[in-house]
Amino acid sequence: MKAPRNKRSMGKKNPRWNRQVFGGFFLFILVVVFLLFVFRFSYIVISGHVNDENLTQKASALYDSSTVLRAKRGTIYDANGAPIAEDSATYSVYAVLDKNYTGINDKKLYVTDKAKVATILSKYLPLDKAAILKRLNPANSKTFQVEFGSAGKGLSLTIKQAINKANLNGVYFTETPSRLYPNGIFASHQIGLAQQQNATTKGGTAQNLAGVMGLEKTLNSTLTGTNGVKKIKEDSYGYQLPHTQAKQKAAKNGQDVYLTLDSRLQTYLETLMSNVQTKYQPEQLNAVLMNPKTGQILAASQRPTFNPETGSGLGSFWRDTLVGDSYEPGSVMKIFTLASAIDAGKYQPDTPYQSGQVTVGGTTVHDWNQTGWGTIPLSKAFPLSSNVGFVKIEQTLGKDKWLEYLKKFQFMSKTKSLLSGEVSGSIQFEHTSDQAVTSFGQGINVTVMQMMQGFTAIANNGKEMQPQIVSKVTDPTTGKTTKYKPHQVGTPISKSTASQVLQDMQDVTYKSYGTGLSYQIPGYKIATKTGTAQISNPNGGGYLTGDNNYIFSVVGMAPASDPKYVLYITMKQPQNMSQPASEILSEIFNPLMKRALDYDSGTSTADTQTTMPSISGKTVSAATAALTKAGIQTVQIGTGDTVVQQMPLANEVILDDQRAMLLTNGAMTMPDVTGWSKSDILKLAELTGKQITIKGTGYATKQSLAAKGLLNSAKTITVTLSKP
């Protein structure tokens, strides 16, 4: 008889028992997991958080939409309230080709009629229909959208609206904030430039404008506003959810800035400067017209310059040379030497001296004509601009007293005129020879604005006024106005001294031996002083040589008895010096000073000058008719029937012999430039964006691309000038 089996051994081999054990264990695990899930779910429901994230906020964010409300940048106005720089927008056009791009109810949002799109766009873009069709039929059939290169960018609101009227499926625009400079070249380096930058706010990222040079930069915090934000709840189609309200924080616009510039005088100065630049090709040219009683700058410009509206000419030359460049002023500095000696009681006009040359501290100083004028009284040293005479005057004054007066006139100190990039200047004053040559403007480095500030003391009874270009700032939100009052920085000389210097400056203009005979203006008394300064050799070794390697200058004050205007012009290294320097500078000085004086006396007829109307977006026939009626010559550049760009820009002054260039839609074509000046050809290059090489001087006689030839087909274009 067999022995009975162990019960435990039997249980382990019993499948039913094993299943029961495993089932119970699995059920236990499921209950635990379920309880954990219930606990976790209950926690989430009660707390509304997962991993420290607020689910309520996260779910709400799925429907939240935030839009940045861009603040308007403040406008810059001239003295009469005309805008110089203001907020605007440009537009870029693009076309969606992807047939999957549809809206509600399968509305087609892509281009459905390429031929129609090409026809309409060719009316407003400088591209012909064939070129546009080629872009609308790219090699890659999966292309989502196409753009139209530079031809489709920078479009005006007028052109955008005209294209929109055609209701083209699949054609869209992107808006870019921009700065409008309606006057084109207009104190460009002084006004400056504002460009785009990305600004991040709670509402998202927006493109804002920021000043990068000139007053746009120095007053950036004043001009820049604060962006706002608009928040709404919307569905997947972009519509606001019912029973919800928009939350909005309004944008705060920037403040408006009013300048002292007079557009009538500023525009005229720019025209005169451009003419001299074209004819004589100086390396640099500066001019400032100021009211010496207040220090207010009425007109200011420089060459090289640029057009802030188009960017043409900007390149790498970003300096405001009126404050950013220091230079040796030459004989114009004799005004301050003479004033210092008179004021100190050290000027003895009847004392004779031997002109021609003098040796000081081992250095020989020559008069500008080398041989001098024999033995003459010191009273003739100023109108003759004798360097030797002024060395004598400086020696009588004494080096310490002379340096004291230089500091009284605020040289070697910034004027703080709000113009950007200002430097302080410098002086070499260690040796006796250094001290001597500063008397006639060598060995001392100044800025144009330092000179203008000093000139006010002569023209304003000894009171020296800080140069001022901003007159007031207004807040459009609050209506608050902050006025900039004229600021006197010192009284370096007495009233009687200033009067005596003005009288001696008249001798420069009217004495037969004066150096300023070219600056006489019939009907007005003008006090002047001329200057011819040597230029330091940048490679060392003294000064540059050659007839044109100088900084030529003139300052004039009028009316001489009680000046209301001070005009200072400097010209560096004219490359085509076909006239004496005084004659060249008089081409700016005389007409501008006369116009200012005429305005003051109420006798000016300049208000009848022709200004360029706005013709962009008009048909060629309508634009031509309007310009012809105004007596303006027109040149069409392009095969189309609609004007897409114009040169000059709207509201610019048109000279009697100036051409208005009309760039149309369609293919760009070369005009017949026979008889054109260099200035006109440069404007053609600016308008078309083509590189044109100019050879010779005078007026155009040959062109490498024939009239009506396609500009886009020519790699290089050469225009030859010849003198008549």
DSSP result, 3-49: PPPPHHHHHHT-HHHHHHHHHHHHHHHHHHHHHHHHHHHHHHHHH-E
- List residues with catalytic annotation: 331
Q: What are the tens digits of pLDDT across the range 193-218?
A: 998 876 554 545 556 889 999 999 99
Q: What is the mean pLDDT of residues 659-671?
A: 86
Residues in the chain: 724
Query: CA-CA distance, 578 to 279, in Å (whole number)?
Result: 9
Cα–Cα distances (Å) from 519 to 574, 588, 602, in that order, read: 19, 10, 22
The total of other beta-carbon atoms located within 10 Å of residue 63's CB is 14
What pLDDT does residue 46 have?
66
Distance CA 255, CA 220 (A): 10
Please return the burial class of 230, using the count of CB atoms within 10 Å of its CB with bins 0-12, 13-18 and 19+: middle
User: pLDDT of 254-307, one tens digit each?
Assistant: 999 999 999 999 999 999 999 999 999 999 999 999 999 999 999 999 999 998
User: How far is 398 from 430, CA to CA, in rounded Å?
Assistant: 14
What is the DSSP secondary-structure string of 39-80?
A: HHHHHHHHH-EETTEEHHHHHHHTTEEEEEEPPPPPPEE-TT
CA distance 669 to 513: 56
Domains, the chain, with CATH or none:
82-229 (3.30.70.2110), 263-601 (3.40.710.10), 610-722 (3.30.10.20)
Mean pLDDT calculated for residue range 406-414: 97
Among 49-58, 81-90, 288-297, top mean pLDDT goes to 288-297
Q: Cis before residue 304, ω within 30 degrees of 0?
A: yes
Spatial distance between the Cα atoms of 95 and 117, rounded to a whole number of angstroms: 9
Say which residue the tokens 């330092």 belong to: 450
User: What is the model's pLDDT at position 242?
Assistant: 66
pLDDT at 314: 85
Beta strands at 717-722 and 699-703: parallel, antiparallel or unpaired? antiparallel
The whole-chain average pLDDT of the chain stands at: 87
627 sits in which H/E element: helix 620-629
Cβ–Cβ under 8 Å, residues 123 and 664: no
Tokens of 520: 């006489």
Q: Give per-residue pLDDT as tens, 146-193.
A: 999 888 988 888 789 889 999 999 999 998 888 888 888 999 999 999
- HSE-up of 9 (CA within 13 Å, CB side)? 3
Q: How many CB atoms lie within 10 A of CB 408?
A: 20
Q: Which of the residue ranges 121-135, 236-250, 320-334, 597-611 would you say has the lowest mean pLDDT?
A: 236-250
- According to DSSP, the β-strands at 193-201 and 171-180 are unpaired
What is the spatial distance between Cα 64 and Cα 233, in angstroms, rounded to a whole number? 5
Higher-pLDDT residue of 333, 249: 333
CA distance 135 to 111: 12
What pTM does this model have? 0.78
Helix/strand/coil percentages in the chain, nearest 5: 35, 30, 40
pLDDT of 50 > 60? The answer is no
Higher confidence at residue 401 or residue 248?
401
* pLDDT score for 627: 86
521-545 burial, b at 16+ Cβ within 10 Å, e below that, comes to: beeebbbbbbbbbbbbeeeeeeeee
Could you give the 3-state DSSP secondary structure of residue 221? helix
* Whether pLDDT at 679 is above 80: no
What pLDDT was estimated at residue 203? 46
